Structure 1
Amino acid sequence: MSARRGWFAAAQAALLALALAACAGTADPGAAPTAPVSSSPTSSPSAPAPEPTPEPTAERTTFRIATLKGPTTMGLVELMDEAAQGTARHDYQVTVYGTPDEVLPKILQGDVDVALVPANLASVLYAKTGGDGGAKVKVAAINTLGVLQVLEAGDTVHAVADLRGHTILSTGKGASPQYVLEHVLTEAGLDPTKDVTIEYLSEATEVAARLAATPGAVAVLPQPYATVVTKQAEGVRVAIDLTDAWADVTPSRLVTGVVVVRTPFLAEHRAAFDEFLADYRASTQFTNEHPDEAGALIAAAGIVPAAAVATAAIPASHVTYIDGADLRTDLDGYLAVLFAANPASVGGALPGDDFYYTPGG
């Protein structure tokens, strides 16, 4: 017990610095945004030389991009680094914010052109800006699949059915984490109100502390909190990846973060935006294929406090790039689950056809 408490005292500062905005509901709207970051590139002697940036086919364009601390931004870091060094093909001006609440008004007021936001917030933005036929935003890509994991301070839980009779610690009551967990439990044949006890705490740090200090405890934590806990707390392990558990019971994939663009900006700079999407796709590929280098950039950008934690968290953060028909299939399925749980979580109604953008289409 004391050893478990000891690790948390040492790691608490790092945990407090981690903001998993991509799967959070709301947070302190007064938190100060992080200024655009500049980081030095990292390199490995064995890493292949980067491919040259293609010659632009669109006029060089300034993109005001808002993104969030946490996995939502992990796939963007190579592009951020190129922009900071002046080697990107467009002028990508990236600002990293602490919570979705800080980004929402920026989009509504036209202060940003592109934003990386939680998937359900994109649907809320669509509804707030006019809905079907007149919305001021479109979603162009999925950038992060699920980031939630079930952790156990023990070795009894190996499948969703094994959660029967357990108390599950979690955050996100009234937000996506609650709806995702309840959906997975229900589809696996468990009643969330009878077969398990879900205890919601206000902060992920509280969940981490309880988990680390209580033998046999079970908790749901997002990345990179989950990686920090498993690295620092003896005996705590990942029991279930909820992204995999979702896929087992749902036709669509679990979605966390997406890329949205304001339609007035898109109308004026469509060719440049398609080039941004190509650059962003390459950046997410870099993150997944070169996790050590990407981890250093993630830490330098202030997204995760330590490069080693960032590198370890990348695989479980499901950083990706999905557009076109697959984007619609996965996002429609995810939003439908949230809508069934709480229509307000997606803006009161499911978005229409004009919500989806297809590059080059």
Structure 2
Amino acid sequence: MKKLFSTIFIALALMILFVGCGSKEVDKEEVKVEPVNIHVIAPNGTPTLSMVKLFEENPSMGDGVTVTYESIAATDVLASKLTQQEADIAIVPTNLAANMYNKEVPYKLAGSSVWGILYLVSTEEVNGWEDLKGKEISMIGRGLTPDATFRYLLTKNNVEPDKDVSLKYFSGGSELAASFISGKGEYALIPEPLLTKVLMKRKDAKVVLDMQREWSTATGLESYPQASIIVSDDLINNHPEVVDKFLNAYEEGIKWANDNPLEAGKYYENLGIGLKAPLINKAMAGCNIRYVGATDAKESLEAYLNVLFEFNPKLLGGKLPDEGLYLER
């Protein structure tokens, strides 16, 4: 009888053991994490610089989340990738965010991060906008946002574009820089960080007008949101916690870059897309990188988009975007 009880006891113990193991397996199945693959893109230059800490360190965005980063050389390639929805998150010219939204490409603007990078440089003394009358000014972006911004500020300061000043357009920043450095022209509207490179080469030139300060004077707003971060509707709807984590990491990365410009420059140089760490170190302050969420940036965003719309509605896809453009957090 004792032997029988002993056998029954052992059998029961084994059953309990196997049942326990089985429930552990079920628990493992219950906590299995669904993989989330996120592709992030940003144009070369200041937009990539704003995200350089994430590019280099690729911090964790949660269990099962894989993030890949890509820096894009040309804006047309960027627009194509967005149209094809090949990116989940992107840093884009703010007008492109509005343009994509108006074309019903499913992205929302989560915040703005590049607050103007245009500076007028000259070898001559300039005490105000009146001194520009009769001058030829070299610049880039015919019909695009730099053109719209500069023409708006000329007009606000009683200087009539194409009548009081002559605007000479170059196809790109490299061509503009080479021309100005060689001594052709005494006035040029140049973006950072290219500006720092130009001033290092042409020692007799200096910044005579800061477009960001001039915008503030003209509008009463701090500056204009030249570039913004957009997030796909799919990622927002299905993984809101990942979106929050990413945007927080992005904001922290911008603060780090501003506090550590040389290290940010080294990270940028590691990407192999053209700019060296010492130059980034000098240029960082003029790049005006700071993160402002869409809700807080809304007044500035709407003012900027209105100026662009008045200049050329096509820059925004033919109309001003409605409230659905913005991601509420």
AA aligned opposite 1:168: I
**Cα distance, 1:118 vs. partner?**
0.7
Task: Choose from 337, 340, 352 the match for 2:307.
Answer: 337
> Which residue number in structure 2 is paired with residue 186 of structure 1?
155
5 Å matches for 1:1-361? 61-83=36-58, 89=62, 90-129=65-104, 136-152=106-122, 154-214=123-183, 217-252=186-221, 253-359=223-329
- Matches of 1:192 and 1:305 in 2, distance apart? 33
Identity of aligned residues (%): 28
**Cα distance, 1:60 vs. partner?**
7.4
TM-score (norm 1): 0.77
**Cα distance, 1:254 vs. partner?**
1.5
Q: CA contact under 8 A between 2:110 and 2:229: conserved in structure 1?
A: yes
Q: CA contact under 8 A between 1:59 and 1:272: conserved in structure 2?
A: no
Q: CA contact under 8 A between 1:75 and 1:285: conserved in structure 2?
A: no
Q: CA contact under 8 A between 1:167 and 1:197: conserved in structure 2?
A: yes
Larger helix percent? 2
- SS state of the match for residue 91, structure 1? strand
- Number of residue pairs the alignment of both structures matches: 294
Q: Which ranges of structure 2 fall in alignment gaps of 5 or more residues?
A: 1-32
Per-residue CA deviations over 1:126-185 (Å, capped at 9, x if unaligned) read: 0112xxxxx511000101011111111x23124333222211111111111111110011
Per-residue CA deviations over 1:65-101 (Å, capped at 9, x if unaligned) read: 1111010111211112221xx6565532111111121
- Sort the Cα spacing of 1:97 and 1:147 in 2 relative to 1 into closer, same or farther, 3 A: same
- SS state of the match for residue 121, structure 1? helix
Q: CA contact under 8 A between 1:339 and 1:346: conserved in structure 2?
A: yes
Runs of 4 or more above 6 Å deviation: none
CA RMSD of aligned residues (A): 1.9
- Matches of 1:151 and 1:194 in 2, distance apart? 21
Q: Which ranges of structure 1 fall in alignment gaps of 5 or more residues?
A: 1-57, 130-134
- Matches of 1:205 and 1:237 in 2, distance apart? 18
Q: CA contact under 8 A between 1:79 and 1:88: conserved in structure 2?
A: no
- SS state of the match for residue 66, structure 1? strand
- Matches of 2:286 and 2:102 in 1, distance apart? 31
- Matches of 2:119 and 2:130 in 1, distance apart? 15
AA aligned opposite 1:213: S
Q: CA contact under 8 A between 1:185 and 1:192: conserved in structure 2?
A: yes
- Matches of 1:76 and 1:215 in 2, distance apart? 35
Q: CA contact under 8 A between 1:75 and 1:284: conserved in structure 2?
A: yes
**Cα distance, 1:249 vs. partner?**
0.3
**Cα distance, 1:265 vs. partner?**
1.9
Q: CA contact under 8 A between 1:143 and 1:257: conserved in structure 2?
A: yes
- SS state of the match for residue 173, structure 1? coil
- Matches of 1:216 and 1:109 in 2, distance apart? 41
AA aligned opposite 2:83: L
- Matches of 1:275 and 1:307 in 2, distance apart? 28
